Structure 1
């Protein structure tokens, strides 16, 4: 029996991995579409990654999601890398193709844009300048997505200024760094504000500034989804600004992989959101 004749199997690789909600997401879609297959989480230490990853096709895996700390490492083992994964320098979605090749993609930016489009109908990256907080892997995906959607300028701020400077240099003239102490000033005239940092997550401190300088027309997004409504989003609500939570980014980024592995294009709807938020 070849791997393609087995029940379709996929999963997520990371270390640690106990926090992931990806199995709940994909199993919901599997059940909805009556697909006999599974999606499992695999905790792989960095030292074991190469041997574990290369064994997956032999075990019947059609693909995997990849999360911290393996998103950059996995590119070394890909036969083909999508343009967006190459630009971001990381992959989160791997497909083991029937011809033996390995395709690496990054769907984080896709998930980010689809989440904002669904949560704030009519929003476009081209609406005006964007302020992005943070300079990690998620910020890379968000910046790439905003630029692809026509953002005329991105103001990038990070607690460690040098990391923001490095990232801005990689993306070119439309991305400029602003000092963390001057973030409120940088909100003047923006159309979109995105927090990609861990600040505001459960157990973390809140962001150390307010939205008082931001236009009331700006869209505020926090890619954090634990808690679903972060202090940043609470303030946006109180100021009657448009806002979008971070759960939809997780849901939408999973769609391309699910379709590639299981042959069905899944939907993101309220039933899925409720299932993901259930205890």
Structure 2
């Protein structure tokens, strides 16, 4: 009787141990998951590389150089493709802009540039107010504020020389962007351009526009970009055309090489928003490129 009870006890204990062992392991796994979940859910993840450069085509993207990073930009526009073989389809003509941008912080940047068109100098301040994020209190978009000024130094002859103040143009933009996936990013750009001087009384000193842009990644290093600025109804919209641009971003190590086609000759807001004259669909297309190179001037830590 004792030996039978002993065998029954041992068998029951062994069966219980076998049944409980997986349950214990599973319970431990659940405990580990519960312990790790709160930590992960409390971590805010910021979206990066919504766009690969600080420019989309003509206009700014939400991106700023990192703290201590200096960005050197070369922007180039040839003549229109429909200028014919005599002008080598625009390649005999060119305008250029050279620019420098510096990241004071990871969110605040300043920049200067000089364009051959109207011998224009420009400068800007750019601040990333909000960053798209996931996790607790996620933000669906990134928002960057941009303020620029530009001054033309072209000699206006034979008409009377203009005052220095009248030569200035100011632009204010709110750049709102969302990275929908690793391949697709979209940006909206409500814009105000103020011109101290206009040639005709009917011209507008204040020009309002709404820009839209997108970037669709095609391969690991190549992306398709598009940009459009709609000038709100008024005399400027009646006299000029909306800026349209299509292009490709090509990443090559430390460079971002951008090829594009646009109906705007100028490469700063003063020109391409209120002064675009070309009809994209009639062949008034300027082929051009942007090249940017980053240099780290100070330690980020």
Return the TM-score normalized by structure 1: 0.27
Higher-helix-fraction structure: 1
Query: Quick check: which has more Rg, 1 or 2?
Result: 2
Higher-strand-fraction structure: 2
Return the TM-score normalized by structure 2: 0.26
